[in-house]
């Protein structure tokens, strides 16, 4: 790419990165002063016109192209701010001239700099136009926007839906460079990749210029367009307006952030009075037991139990609210070390419920922070114990294996099971579903929501397979690192 000149107005210096990005879409690009003097030419244009010859400071209608009526061309630029596919003749370094079309426009309303894009006119126009007539019969009625661009990246067809989406009349879209409708250089890069790297590209999201200047987010799928003999003549782009969807997603994300902040604040504020309740109830039981009597001591124990349950709930709520704000830095963790630690901590409860906890002997390493992996196993095993029900030989079996490049965790029990209609609801916060055995005390109602969020924040997922009376298998899938 040609080097930028060292000195020219600051607005042109600011514009050069975007203009240079255009050369990835269009071969022949020029940056001009408002009066038509050349500031910069793309390598392809400079090579075509004069090899190593410098064009800086010369008037583009004298050294780069020749127009039948140069005054009319410049007048269109000055009065309208743009010209579209005007016929001119490009001057070759040999002195020969050949016809091209030029579209030019000011870079921005407050910027006098002009970008000009030249279009080859040696393309297979009759065959392309015949193809377009055939396509138009089908695409004119499409509810989604459709445009066809030629090999020079100029728009040669737009359907009525494209007019409705962008606000641009069809005649204002035809024969104009695709680049003038994009908002940012990043969007140029995405389109270039879509057109150059593969015959088909789906769902590239980018910003487009509406006629009224309003925001427009679109999803674009691109397919190359070829004639019957295989000649590549351009591409077809299918355009969907996703502005409302993106706005809804942004609003939802903002509301989720506000809700997480609210939950974090409320949970934190509840801790102080809870500490006092637990502290004074312990003092009552330890220092005033004779005065309380058996009945009073029983009531104090009930207060302590309820306080500890609330303490567990507050802890889980705080953990859930923190997860979306903390950076995920996965590490390789041996799951057996975590499971052996949990087995030791849960031994009194396992013995009391006569549950056999079966652990994998040599599981693969898991890509997850140790603290979060502990939470996954603790909540899944704790959930199985809480909702085991009345079973003759209760078993909780933990398995870890690699499948298709991902780590798969399964925690199986032979307890009361879950109705299939409740499989999605059970991962929602404060949801308790099923029969009496699935509504026992000891569960905060947040554990499975934590498991699901841990998995999803790491690019994985969590789900359950179960039926009433047939136990349950909770699955967690995580990317392998």
Q: How confident is the model at residue 350 (pLDDT cuts 50, 70, 90)?
A: very high
For the chain, the average pLDDT equals: 81
Listed ranges 165-179, 262-276, 332-346; the one with the highest mean pLDDT: 332-346
Most confident of 228-242, 257-271, 287-301: 287-301
Q: What is the pLDDT of residue 402?
A: 93
Predicted model pTM: 0.49
Report the relative pairing of strands 38-41 and 65-66 from DSSP bridges.
unpaired
Q: From CA 402, how far away is CA 365, in angstroms rounded? A: 9
Biggest CA pair distance of the chain:
114
Q: Scanning the structure block, which residue is given the tokens 């007048």?
A: 75
Give the pLDDT confidence score for residue 5 in this predicted structure: 38
> For residues 72, 74, 78 and 82, what is the CA-based torsion angle, rounded to 10 degrees?
90
Region 276-292 average pLDDT: 86
Whether the CB-CB separation of 295 and 428 falls below 8 Å is answered with: no
What pLDDT digit, counting tens, does each position of 139-186 carry? 888 888 998 887 777 888 899 999 999 888 998 888 888 777 776 656
- What is the predicted pLDDT for the residue at 321? 67
pLDDT band at 4 (very low <50, low <70, confident <90, very high): very low
What number of helices (H) and strands (E) belong to the chain?
14, 18
Return phi, psi of residue 198, to 5°: -155, 150
pLDDT per position as a tens digit, 8-36: 443 555 566 667 667 777 888 888 888 88
User: The tokens of 173 are what?
Assistant: 């879209």
- Tens of pLDDT, residue by residue over 295-308, are 888 888 888 888 87
What is the set of domains in the chain, with CATH numbers?
Answer: 10-120 (3.30.450.20), 125-241 (3.30.450.20), 250-323 (1.10.287), 332-479 (3.30.565.10)
Per the model's pLDDT, the better-predicted residue between 126 and 378 turns out to be: 378
Q: Give which of 300, 323, 303 is closest to 375, Cα–Cα.
A: 323
**What is the C-alpha separation between 405 and 399, in angstroms, rounded?**
16
Cα R_g (the chain), whole angstroms: 34
What is the Cα–Cα distance from 465 to 445, expressed in whole angstroms?
A: 19
> 355 vs 22, which has greater pLDDT?
355
For residue 327, what are its two tokens? Answer: 């950076």
pLDDT at position 405 over 90: no
């Amino acid at each position: 790419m040609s080097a930028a000149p060292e000195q020219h107005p600051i607005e042109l210096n600011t514009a050069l990165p975007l203009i240079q990005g255009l050369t990835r879409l269009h071969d022949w690009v020029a940056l001009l002063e408002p009066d038509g003097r050349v500031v910069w030419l793309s390598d392809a244009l400079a090579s075509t016109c004069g090899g190593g010859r410098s064009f800086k400071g010369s008037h583009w209608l004298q050294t780069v192209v020749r127009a039948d009526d140069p005054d009319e061309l410049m007048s269109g630029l000055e009065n309208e701010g743009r010209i579209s596919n005007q016929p001119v003749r490009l001057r070759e370094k040999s002195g020969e001239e050949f016809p091209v079309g030029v579209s030019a426009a000011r870079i921005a309303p407050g910027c006098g700099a002009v970008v000009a894009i030249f279009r080859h006119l040696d393309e297979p126009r009759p065959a392309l136009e015949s193809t377009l007539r055939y396509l138009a019969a089908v695409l004119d009625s499409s509810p989604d926007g459709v445009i066809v661009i030629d090999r020079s990246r100029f728009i040669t067809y737009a359907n009525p839906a494209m007019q409705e989406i962008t606000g641009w009349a069809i005649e204002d879209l035809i024969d104009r460079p695709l680049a003038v409708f994009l908002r940012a250089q990043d969007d140029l890069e995405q389109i270039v990749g879509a057109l150059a790297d593969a015959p088909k590209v789906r769902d590239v999201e980018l910003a487009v210029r509406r006629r009224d200047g309003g925001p427009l987010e679109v999803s674009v799928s691109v397919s190359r367009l070829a004639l019957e003999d295989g000649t590549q003549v351009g591409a077809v782009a299918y355009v969907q307006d996703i502005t409302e969807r993106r706005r809804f997603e942004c609003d939802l994300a903002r509301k989720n952030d506000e809700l997480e902040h609210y939950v974090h604040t409320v949970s934190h504020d509840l801790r102080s009075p809870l500490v006092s309740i637990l502290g004074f109830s312990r003092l009552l039981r330890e220092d005033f037991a004779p005065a309380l009597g058996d009945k009073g001591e029983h009531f104090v124990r009930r207060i302590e139990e309820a306080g500890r349950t609330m303490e567990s709930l507050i802890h889980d709520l705080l953990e859930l609210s923190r997860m979306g704000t903390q950076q995920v830095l996965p590490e390789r963790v041996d799951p057996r070390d975590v499971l052996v630690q949990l087995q030791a901590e849960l031994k009194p409860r396992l013995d009391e419920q006569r549950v056999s906890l079966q652990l994998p002997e040599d599981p693969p390493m898991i890509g997850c922070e140790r603290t979060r992996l502990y939470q996954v196993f603790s909540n899944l095993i704790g959930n199985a114990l809480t909702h085991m029900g009345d079973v003759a030989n209760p078993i909780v079996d933990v398995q870890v294996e690699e499948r298709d490049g991902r780590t798969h965790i399964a925690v199986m029990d032979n307890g009361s099971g879950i109705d299939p209609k409740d499989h999605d609801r059970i991962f929602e916060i404060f949801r308790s579903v099923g029969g009496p055995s699935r509504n026992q005390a000891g569960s905060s109602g947040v554990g499975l929501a934590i498991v699901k969020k841990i998995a999803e924040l790491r690019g994985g997922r969590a789900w359950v397979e179960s039926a009433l009376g047939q136990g349950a298998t909770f699955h967690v899938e995580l990317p392998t690192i």
